[in-house]
A and B are shown apart, each in its own frame.
Chain A
Amino acid sequence: MHPEISSVNASTLSKEEKIRYSRQIMIFGEEGQKKLKSARVVVVGVGGLGSASSTYLTAAGVGRLILVDKDVVELDNLNRQVLHWTRDIGKLKVRSAAEKLRELNPEVDVEGLAVEVNEESVYDIIKEADVVVDGLDNWGTRMIINKACVELGKPFVHAGVHGMYGQLTVIIPHESPCLQCIVPSAGTKPKSGTFPVLGTTPAILATLQAQEVIKLITGHGRPLIGKLLIFDGTTTTFTTIEVSRRKNCPACGNPAMQQ
């Protein structure tokens, strides 16, 4: 487990759990699976990104999954938000998602919060989290989450998408650059517009997010900390660049820090 994450291991795995997770236990052992079982993950936004990340986190057996989204399912969501089906139009996204995730894996405690993320609500939303997962659709709300994660020391797994493009990074507060360090020119007002997106793009980025969460929790592999992965789906290209902390970052900056 990444040193930033300090939840207590769930003590045992049932016989069924050992079978359900047997193929991944071959990767990180029962110890890794127990760490997943005792982890609490908050997915903020259950749209294109959140549908895919929460599905894989549920299948992988995180102990507690908290979904946050105030919106209801609309017809034009369905090309990409694959946890929501035609029959769910008009239903709260957290309800639609939680119903299916519980069926996928009843071992996972799935909770839905139909609340707005703002500067007041954010602390309550993420306080229980071992890891926070970005499923948002605008910079403003992302920056609210980013700042709260920095303040509370929560790892934050960011992704964003547009068309066939996307990016991904793992933020460990005070160790890696935060989102504000990386994108200082992003707007801070919560504003979500209509953006073009092919359903496969958030699926690609969000499955990578889920994988990074699992790596952080189990301690297996090296998470994408201090690096930004850029995905170009038009040419099927992944580029990884190093990103650094910004000395005077308004969210995480330490004026005494050497750059």
Chain B
Amino acid sequence: MVKVKVKLFAVFADAVGTKELVIDLSGEKVKVKDVLEYIRSKYPKFREVEENVPILMLVNGINVLPDDEVKDRDEVSFLPPVSGG
């Protein structure tokens, strides 16, 4: 079991209704994309927002890719870099 704290920013926080979640994921090797998939399945609005906004993914403050690993007690952040000017 891997317990991670998820921090959500801006429109992702709006979609989920909170800025912070603590989630438990089963399995030995958990990846960032598993965390994303969990949030998508629980919060359909997140998936809607995600279709129009790129995601900046961080694990413990370092930018990562969906296939990177997440360990127990890591902090995963999802931020929407915005593109208007």
Contact A184/B83 with A165-B10, A232-B9 known, Cβ cut-off 8 Å? no
Task: Tell me, in angstroms, the Cα distance from A187 to B84 when the chains sit together.
Answer: 13
Q: How distant is B32 from chain A, measured CB to nearest CB, in Å?
A: 12
Q: Are B82 and A166 in contact (CB under 8 A)?
A: yes
Task: Tell me, in angstroms, the Cα distance from A166 to B56 when the chains sit together.
Answer: 13
Q: Which residues of B contact A (CB under 8 A)?
A: 9-11, 54-56, 58, 61-63, 65, 77, 79-85
Task: Tell me, in angstroms, the Cα distance from A130 to B81 when the chains sit together.
Answer: 26
A-B contact count (CB 8 A): 83
Q: Which of A137-186 contact B (CB under 8 A)?
A: 137-139, 142, 159-163, 165-167, 177, 181-186
Q: Are B63 and A48 in contact (CB under 8 A)?
A: no
Interface size class of A (residues with CB under 8 A): 35 or more
Q: How distant is A53 from chain B, measured CB to nearest CB, in Å?
A: 10
The residue among A185, A187, A197 with the most chain B CB atoms within 10 A of its own CB is A185
Contact A244/B63 with A185-B55, A230-B10, A239-B9 known, Cβ cut-off 8 Å? yes
Q: Are B85 and A48 in contact (CB under 8 A)?
A: yes
Q: Which of A70-91 contact B (CB under 8 A)?
A: none
Across the interface, which residues of A come within 8 angstroms of B83, CB to CB? 136-139, 142, 160, 162, 186, 195
A27 at the binding interface (Cβ < 8 Å): no
Q: Are A161 and B85 in contact (CB under 8 A)?
A: yes
Q: Which of A44-101 contact B (CB under 8 A)?
A: 45, 47-50
**Which residue of chain A has its CB nearest to the CB of B77?**
A241
Q: Are A137 and B81 in contact (CB under 8 A)?
A: no
**Which residue of chain B has its CB nearest to the CB of A233?**
B10
